[in-house]
Chains A and B, each alone.
Chain A
Amino acid sequence: MPHVVGEDTSGAAPARGPLRRAIESDLWYSFTRSPVTVVSAAVTLVMILSAAFAPLVAPHNPFDPATISILDSFYPPAWMEGGNPRFLLGTDDQGRDILSTILYGMRISLAVGFASVLFAMVIGVTLGLVAGYIGGAVDSVIMRIADVQLTFPAILIALLINGVARAMAGPQSYDQVVLVVLVLSIGLSFWVQYARTVRGSVLVEANKEYVLAARLIGLRPWTIMFKHVLPNVMGPVLVIATINLALAIITEATLSFLGVGVPPTEPSLGTLIRIGNDFLFSGEWWITIFPGITLAILALAVNLLGDWLRDALNPKLR
């Protein structure tokens, strides 16, 4: 799939700007024709923006001890009996505003999600390029490892890497490196898909004339791999990255829910759900249900975007 993103379909007209080209592309057309996709793109965008600007958007700062008061704890959502109009979605056991903790939590969830997708992408694409372009023993070793890893569910691998990292860091320093460990463990459990896809595309690309030409003029393998082959195999990689973003967010939430992820001092959505879960039975359902719904909407929206992107870039799959 060479260069489909933003490609001009109506023939070359060099004077046009990139915006015009984007609007006239196939991709934009199929985007506007699918209301579900437009809605999920809007939802994703709003969530990313409100997470990024959480300090400006959130009505309270839930992690500033000066502004939270234990007297405000366990307020139900504002529209319910006993609710407080200051706290739209209610408060938790420490008197923190649920809406604000969700916004701040989404920030961490998204940050870990994006970082691990990026990490998995860098590892997977590099190994895939190397395996496909160099071939031979290097190829077999990399792909065997990929095969073995693919046999196991990603969550199990993430848990194991997490456990090993926890053992090596020691309990005291673990909380400081937890975000890095999370990104590493989620990233390392998702690289295989990129490697396999890129390797497959590279095997096709490597015999094309532009690669032969590049080799003929004496460019080094690394230059050919990253400057010439890579741009032409990026289409599928972007699709996988989008679908994996939802998976990475879910995996982070799951790890945090299991108690091996982000600590409660700076909670992500998963941690919030874990904390709130303790209060589910005593009637304070909003502490866990609202972060849960947020996570579900976020994952669903990103998933729908990924599905659409896959179909739009691969007409054959439809």
Chain B
Amino acid sequence: MIAFAIRRFVQALGVMLVVALISFLMFRFVGDPVNQLVGVDTSPAEREALRQALGLNDPVMIQFSRFIVRAVQIDFGISYQFKQPVAALIASRLPATLELSFVSALFALAVGVPMGVYTGLYRNTLLARGFLAISLIGVSLPTFLIGILLIFVVSVNLGWLPSFGRGETVSIGGMWTTGFLTRSGLLSLILPAITLGLFQMTLIMRLVRGEMLEVLRTDYIKFARARGLSRRAVNFGHALKNTLVPVITITGLQLGSIIAFAIITETVFQWPGMGLLFLQAVQNVDIPIMAAYLLLIAFLFVAINFIVDLLYVAVDPRIRLGEARR
């Protein structure tokens, strides 16, 4: 187990180093950092001085190691468009994205699992077929289109929910702003969270359905039925429990995707999160923000993968045995 954890950790570090290299190369060689920082009327001598001060004349390897040391200290330089430290900009946007992603994941689980169980147990009923058809549409429709359709129906035509922004937010300790504590904040969360979570919801539903169908065929379920256990005990105590391992894994892995896909949802709903910041950076070629965002997302993905891998081994003994034999 420990050897497995160490091997996975080294792999994770390797991935992070590769991503850091890509971000560094982007930062250093796509466009000239000096040109981005100074005005048109800056003299060549001043440019050279700035170049020297930023350390851009040092060997590339030294610059790269400096980049990594700074990244570890959460220092990503100054944004070209905002002229502010990138780390502070991202930190101010982080709560909005994380809250949205969290609620979306919760929504996907809370709706996806019951729908999956239902379609697995009663797969030939009309309702189950309806759920499957909806899930196919959910997979085929692009996220932004779902958002626009929701805005059109719920906000524009029915006028029930707000269609943009976070509503009123409350600041906690100066570090975190939350929309959970105000009515308008909660109402503003509903549509973006559904939009962002819909794809994951259909994914979870199909996964739970498939796993349920598989598990219901096994001998221990037949045995449990033969013992005369109630349907409830068999379906939920025995069957559902055994489907949850892959569901937890997939949900964990999807958490990273949710955060990345938040870019689209945030654009549709003008949600002031990191994704919107990143998108503005792409449009305005603000490389420091792009590089920092890439590193942050990579870190989240790698960390989530690592934790899920460990959890998976901890939960499912069969994998542990397979590893030991190898």
Binding site for B on A (CB under 8 A): 148, 151-153, 155-156, 159-160, 162-164, 166-168, 171, 246, 250, 253-254, 257-260, 273, 277, 280-281, 285, 288-289, 292, 295-296, 299-300, 303-304
Contact = CB atoms under 8 A, between A and B. Distances in A.
A166 B145 CA distance: 25
Contact of A295 (B30, B142, B282): B142
Task: Specify which of B148, B263, B278, B305 lies most central, judged by the most chain A CB atoms within 10 Å of its CB.
Answer: B148
B136 A303 contact: yes
Contacts of A280: 148, 151-152, 156
Given A166-B282, A260-B282, A280-B151, A151 B301 contact: yes
B267 A257 contact: yes
A259 B256 CA distance: 23
Contacts of B149: 289, 292
A273 B144 contact: yes
A167 B15 contact: no
B79 interface: no
Task: Specify which of A156, A259, A288, A296 lies most central, judged by the most chain B CB atoms within 10 Å of its CB.
Answer: A156
Task: Specify which of B30, B145, B152, B302 lies most central, judged by the most chain A CB atoms within 10 Å of its CB.
Answer: B145
B100 to A, nearest CB: 16
A167 B287 contact: yes
Interface string B123-155: 000000000000011011111110011011000
Nearest to B294: A160
11 contacts: A160-B294, A162-B282, A259-B267, A260-B282, A260-B283, A273-B144, A289-B149, A296-B137, A296-B141, A303-B139, A303-B140
Contacts of A162: 282
B264 interface: yes
A156 B156 contact: no
A268 B163 CA distance: 25
B285 A167 contact: yes
Given A258-B267, A273-B144, A289 B152 contact: yes
B290 interface: yes
A159 B156 CA distance: 30
Contacts of B152: 280, 285, 288-289
Main secondary structure of the interface of B (DSSP, over half): helix
Nearest to B298: A152
A259 to B, nearest CB: 6
A95 to B, nearest CB: 23
Contacts of A253: 142, 144-145
Contacts of B163: 281
Contacts of A171: 285
B62 to A, nearest CB: 23
A155 B260 contact: yes
Contacts, number: 108
Interface string B248-265: 000000001100110110
Given A167-B30, A258-B263, A300-B137, A292 B279 contact: no
B31 interface: yes
Nearest to A296: B141
Contact of B260 (A156, A164, A277, A295): A156
Contacts of A250: 142
Given A151-B302, A162-B282, A167-B285, A296 B26 contact: no
Nearest to A302: B140
B145 A167 contact: no
A164 B26 contact: yes
Nearest to A152: B301
B324 interface: no
A152 B140 contact: no
B147 to A, nearest CB: 10
A280 B269 CA distance: 13
A167 B267 CA distance: 21
A257 B267 CA distance: 9
A253 to B, nearest CB: 6
B282 A163 contact: yes
A85 to B, nearest CB: 25
A259 B142 CA distance: 15
A253 B148 CA distance: 13
B281 interface: yes
A203 B151 CA distance: 50
Contact of B141 (A164, A166, A168, A299): A299
Nearest to A171: B285
Contact of B264 (A168, A254, A295): A254
Contact of B261 (A153, A166, A168): A153
B283 A148 contact: no
Task: Specify which of B142, B148, B151, B301 lies most central, judged by the most chain A CB atoms within 10 Å of its CB.
Answer: B142
B140 A292 contact: no
Contacts of A160: 282, 290, 294
Contact of B156 (A152, A166, A168, A281): A281
B297 interface: yes
Task: Specify which of A153, A163, A285 lies most central, judged by the most chain B CB atoms within 10 Å of its CB.
Answer: A163
A156 B297 contact: yes
A8 to B, nearest CB: 33
Contacts of B19: 148
Interface string B298-322: 1001100100000000000000000
